[in-house]
């Protein structure tokens, strides 16, 4: 009986066998040659040279989207100079153990586009907090991108991401959404300039109206503010609020289930804090703001 695998051999068997021997020889020689080549010495590494990292192992360089001001020490307190996103300058004095300078500070300001209120905030995680590693839907202008709605964002819809120098500012739309014309209006009319000390100052125009100190929307103050830290840890919001009462309530953005939050008003400025209980108590009692 013929071999069960000998299905292609028929007719001139002798020639087929020679061909088979040649094929086997090639299959043996090629691996051996590969071993010989692989044993050749690698080119020497130049002194001081750093090996190129594997591309797939590189990580995104995404520093927090915040400014770390230099603090001045005054006894047991520290002081930092600040600029609010409407250009108002001030000085924040706080107990040194709070370490507000190390938390980082970022701007917030409400905006109305054709009468529709939206919030403008600097996401603490920068662009990656909005992009999640994905791709934008489209570019509205060279410095403004439209991104998909973020998972778990509740009533919020798509996001307009603005680039102002090193800052990334997000406009969080609602489910009903702005029209294309409204989005183009805010993309073209919202302007930002970075001060010499690194703060972001915003301006609008036409159908784009930015909130001023004392403005409210949805029950919360939405005028120019500065946020120290992030709501996932310790956070303080400093909010110029003319006429605010001592017993003013905590803004909704600061309230997180199971986390202490408290607010206090002094000299027309509200200080709201959330985080560890000791941090919150020290913040609302010890922070003082002087507007200039």
pLDDT at 47: 40
The pLDDT, as a whole number, for residue 7 is 26
Contact predicate 65/81, CB 8 Å? no
Place of tokens 């970075």: 194
CA atoms within 13 A on the CB side of 256: 15
Question: How far are the Cα atoms of 42, 85, 146, 231, 284 from residue 288, in angstroms, in the given order?
Answer: 64, 19, 38, 21, 9
Q: In this predicted structure, what is the pLDDT of residue 21?
A: 39
Length of the chain: 292
What pLDDT is attached to residue 115?
A: 94
What's residue 84's pLDDT?
98
What's this model's pTM, rounded to 2 decimal places?
0.77
pLDDT (tens, 9 = 90+) of the chain, 292 residues, equals: 433 322 222 333 444 444 343 433 444 444 434 433 333 343 443 443 333 332 322 334 456 799 999 999 989 999 999 999 999 999 999 999 999 999 999 999 999 999 999 999 999 999 999 998 899 999 999 999 999 988 777 778 999 999 999 999 999 999 889 999 999 999 999 999 999 999 999 999 999 999 999 999 988 999 999 999 998 899 999 999 998 877 678 888 888 777 899 999 998 999 999 999 999 999 999 999 999 9
Question: Residue 63's pLDDT is what?
Answer: 65
- In terms of Cβ atoms closer than 10 Å to its own Cβ (0-12, 13-18, 19+), residue 283 is buried
The pLDDT value recorded for residue 212 is 97
């Amino acid at each position: 009986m013929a071999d069960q695998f000998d299905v292609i051999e028929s007719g001139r068997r002798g020639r087929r066998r020679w061909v088979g021997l040649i094929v086997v020889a090639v299959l043996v020689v090629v691996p051996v040659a590969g071993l010989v080549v692989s044993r050749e010495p690698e080119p020497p590494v130049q002194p001081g040279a750093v090996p190129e990292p594997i591309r797939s192992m590189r990580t995104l360089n995404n520093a927090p989207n915040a400014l770390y001001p230099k603090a001045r020490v005054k006894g047991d307190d520290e002081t930092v100079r600040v600029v609010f996103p409407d250009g108002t300058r001030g000085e924040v004095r706080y107990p040194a153990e709070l370490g507000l300078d190390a938390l980082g500070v970022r701007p917030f300001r409400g905006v109305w586009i054709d009468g529709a209120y939206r919030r403008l905030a600097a996401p603490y995680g920068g662009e990656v907090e909005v992009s999640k590693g994905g791709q934008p839907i489209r570019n509205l202008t060279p410095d403004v991108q439209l991104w998909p709605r973020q998972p778990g964002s509740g009533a919020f819809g798509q996001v307009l991401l603005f680039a102002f120098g090193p800052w990334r500012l997000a406009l969080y739309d609602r489910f009903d959404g702005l029209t294309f014309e409204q989005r183009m209006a805010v993309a073209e009319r919202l302007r930002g300039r970075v001060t010499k000390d690194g703060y972001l100052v915003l301006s609008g125009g036409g159908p784009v109206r930015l909130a001023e100190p004392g403005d409210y929307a949805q029950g919360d103050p939405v005028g120019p503010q500065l946020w120290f830290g992030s709501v996932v840890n310790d956070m303080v919001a400093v909010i110029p609020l003319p006429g605010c009462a001592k017993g003013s309530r905590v803004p909704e953005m600061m309230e997180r289930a199971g986390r202490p939050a408290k607010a206090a008003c002094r000299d027309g400025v509200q200080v709201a804090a959330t985080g560890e209980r000791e941090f919150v108590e020290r913040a609302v009692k010890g922070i003082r703001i002087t507007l200039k």
